[in-house]
Amino acid sequence: MSRFLKCFIVLTCLLTMALFAAACADSSQPIPDQNQQPAPPEPEEQTLTISACYDYVAREIEIAAEKFKADHPGLEIVVETYAGDRERYKQQISIQLMGGRPADIIDATAFSEIDLANSNLLIDFYPLIEEDPDFTDDTYYMNVIDGMAFNGKVFVFPTEFSYSVLGVNNTLSRDLVERYQQYETITYRQALDLYLEFADPGLYLERSFDAAYVTDAALKTFVDFENQTCFFNTAEFIQFITDAKVATEPAKITRGELGWTYSANIYRADLLAEAQSYLFSKASNTDYWVFLPYTKGNVFTHYIPLVDNDGQALMMPRKRFCISEASQNKELAWEFIKYLTTPEANTDTIIYGFPIHRQLFNSYVTNDLTKAVEQWRSIDPVSGETEAVVADVMAKLVGYNELPMSYQNNLDIEAMADIIREQLYAFYRGTATAEQVATELQQKITVFMDEIQ
């Protein structure tokens, strides 16, 4: 065997041994698991900012925020409150919106919807709702949300709502009560017609009634905000305020309360002397007692919703929010606002109106109404078992809740309300005729609407 062949054989053996040793060394390492998932990434840090005018709104947002953050690791929610300083809140939020640096979510309670809609600085909620598979008529009172629409868009999202109901005095005239029972809903004009037919001297329509208050409450009858037109200088308005003057309690004008609503309600039999002054009494749908039967009998009964001339309930959103167009967290802001409507977010909060979430409405109002019935038993004996009374009232309220709604945004337009009150004070005091008031309002409100554009 040649020397060269021997060297080749030796080198081949050495190479084979080295490869074998390397293979053995590698076999000591664990074999990678092909199904093993990579470690999850660290949660992305996000900050959602919220501005609230009132402390009670801020507290409830903060309670909900802690629950919401549990499902959103890395999320920080910062709530800024203005301690109920409405004017400072409006001023600061307006500056922030104009400067392009507002909070992601804005509590709209202190603002006029018209001002917000005309700002072009807020998002329209309709596209978010339409793209959200969980947002359906079966889950939410969409009629309430639709009631906030302005020019086909919703810039203000309500989480709670209320509307007014009107009851009739059943101690004065059986004919009046029977006529009233024929209505399922009622307008102020219809109530005024009943007043003119049945009222004796010294009787008034209802405790908060006057021409300014009712004009304000039903302003959409006389003002078309979307088309920037108004209809004050008409025979309808002139007749309306003329009739309303007759139905207004004179002392209300003397006290300087034109357009102001009484906070107190009259309903009990032991207030009969005071109640006898009015044909009707207005209340909120959230005042359960107006729907409860008493063995003593109510002074005012048969409460039904007040509606405008289009049959829309005069709705007021109790809590409402906006999302700024400048927000970098629009989808997250929408998720949080939607969360505020759910039963999970409201287990530790007080609900001041009716929830727009149907499940929350059913559970919360049923429980709240049950407590109310038991509480009222200690004041006036309630006819019927609690469960039956609650079921009856709930059925009535559920039906009322389905009415088309109209947000009375005029209540927030203070400058317009001031113009109306100024002119109608002159009318009540006899220094201007109904025709003169109609002409002045037509001119002044037309100019006002041009200015707010």
DSSP per-residue codes, 169-190 = ETTT-HHHHHHHTT-SSB-HHH
Per-residue pLDDT for 348 more than 90? Answer: no
Which of the four pLDDT bands, split at 50, 70 and 90, describes residue 35?
A: low
Judgement on whether residues 145 and 294 belong to the same structural domain of the protein: no
Judgement on whether residues 111 and 146 belong to the same structural domain of the protein: yes
Is residue 382 included in any domain, yes or no? no
Judgement on whether residues 80 and 222 belong to the same structural domain of the protein: no
> What CATH number has the domain bearing residue 284?
3.40.190
Residue 160, number of CB atoms within 10 A of its CB: 23
Residue 295 is predicted with a pLDDT of 62
Is residue 23 included in any domain, yes or no? no
Which of the four pLDDT bands, split at 50, 70 and 90, describes residue 218?
A: confident
Judgement on whether residues 276 and 288 belong to the same structural domain of the protein: yes
372-424: pLDDT as tens digits: 898 888 877 788 899 999 999 999 999 999 999 988 765 457 778 889 989 99
Model pTM score: 0.84
Distance CA 39, CA 41 (A): 6
Average pLDDT, the chain: 85
Judgement on whether residues 120 and 248 belong to the same structural domain of the protein: no
54-108: pLDDT as tens digits: 999 999 999 999 999 999 999 999 999 999 998 999 999 999 998 989 999 999 9
Residue 438, C-beta contacts closer than 8 angstroms, at least 6 positions apart? 232, 233, 234, 237, 238, 241
Which of the four pLDDT bands, split at 50, 70 and 90, describes residue 251?
A: confident
DSSP string, 379-411: TSPBSS-HHHHHHHHHHHHHHHHTS-EEE-GGG
Judgement on whether residues 324 and 300 belong to the same structural domain of the protein: no
Contact 354, 161 (CB under 8 A): yes
Contact 414, 405 (CB under 8 A): no
Distance CA 351, CA 333 (A): 21
Judgement on whether residues 294 and 418 belong to the same structural domain of the protein: yes
Distance CA 146, CA 406 (A): 8
Domain assignment of residue 340, given as a range? 46-159+318-355
Q: Where do we find the tokens 């009259």? A: 266
Judgement on whether residues 151 and 230 belong to the same structural domain of the protein: no
Taking CA atoms, 293 is separated from 152, 351, 387, in Å, by 42, 24, 13
Judgement on whether residues 192 and 166 belong to the same structural domain of the protein: yes
Is residue 37 included in any domain, yes or no? no
pLDDT, greater one: 4 or 395:
395
Q: Where do we find the tokens 């992305």? A: 44
DSSP three-state, residue 323: strand
Q: Where do we find the tokens 């917000």? A: 116
Q: How many domains does the chain have?
A: 2
Judgement on whether residues 265 and 227 belong to the same structural domain of the protein: yes
Distance CA 404, CA 311 (A): 7
Per-residue pLDDT for 24 more than 60? Answer: no
Judgement on whether residues 307 and 421 belong to the same structural domain of the protein: yes
Contact 97, 119 (CB under 8 A): yes
- Find the mean pLDDT for residues 281-294: 87
Taking CA atoms, 50 is separated from 44, 88, 211, 219, 287, in Å, by 19, 16, 39, 32, 31
Range scoring the smallest mean pLDDT among 17-31, 159-173, 358-372, 415-429: 17-31
Judgement on whether residues 249 and 211 belong to the same structural domain of the protein: yes
> What CATH number has the domain bearing residue 141?
3.40.190.10
Residue 25 is predicted with a pLDDT of 45
Which of the four pLDDT bands, split at 50, 70 and 90, describes residue 265?
A: low
Per-residue pLDDT for 242 more than 50? Answer: yes
- Find the mean pLDDT for residues 256-279: 65
Residue 115 is predicted with a pLDDT of 76
Residue 143 is predicted with a pLDDT of 96
- The number of angstroms, rounded, from the C-alpha of 40 to the middle of its chain's C-alpha atoms is 40
